[in-house]
Amino acid sequence: MNKQDESPQLFDSMQKPVGLTRIYLAAKNSLRALKWLFKNESAFRQECLLFAIALPISFLFDITATEQVVLICSVLFVMLIEIVNTAIEVIVDRISLELHSLSGLAKDLGSAAVSISLIIMTLTWAIILLS
């Protein structure tokens, strides 16, 4: 018997879903999170509006399909980073509402990531549309 067989299995009593059930549950959880974000995070609502405006605008320019995808993905990238930033904020608040320099730093770093993603998006749009 090897060491792997001797170690206790975590979550023995819980069977993880597989196949289409796993995909369905993951999609359901993701949709629930997106609904929560839209309801509770004004920055996410603003980024959804930005996406709703950017998508049709991307069709107005004489650019390649690849360039159009890059433009749209740059906006989706901002939304992705906003989701990660919100996750950081939620985790920090879950741990403690007490003011702590590391908690503030974690939130500031998440905010900085959103700012950098906005710069990347702006540069992407400028380079593609002005070239």
Could you state, in order of their start, the residue ranges of all structural domains in the chain?
41-131
pTM of the model: 0.83
CATH of 41-131, one of 3.30.720.120, 1.10.287.3610, 1.50.10.10, 1.10.10.10: 1.10.287.3610
Average pLDDT of the residues in 10-29: 85
Distances (CA, A) of 82 to 20, 29, 64, 86: 28, 18, 28, 6
Is 98 a catalytic site residue? no
Q: How many helices and strands, by DSSP H and E, does the chain display?
A: 5, 0
CB 74 within 8 A of CB 47: no
Taking the C-alpha atoms of residue 121 and residue 123, their distance in angstroms, rounded to an integer, is 6
Taking the C-alpha atoms of residue 105 and residue 93, their distance in angstroms, rounded to an integer, is 13
The amino acid present at 83, given as its one-letter code, is I
Place of tokens 């170690």: 7
Q: Which helix (H) or strand (E) holds 127?
A: helix 101-130
Give residue-wise pLDDT tens across range 43-96. 999 999 999 999 999 999 999 999 999 999 999 999 999 999 999 999 999 999
Give residue-wise pLDDT tens across range 94-122. 999 899 999 999 999 999 999 999 999 99
The amino acid present at 29, given as its one-letter code, is N
Please tell me which residue in 6, 41, 47, 82 is annotated as part of the active site: 82
The DSSP code for 97 is: -
Instruction: Indicate whether 10 pLDDT > 90.
Output: no
Taking the C-alpha atoms of residue 79 and residue 94, their distance in angstroms, rounded to an integer, is 22
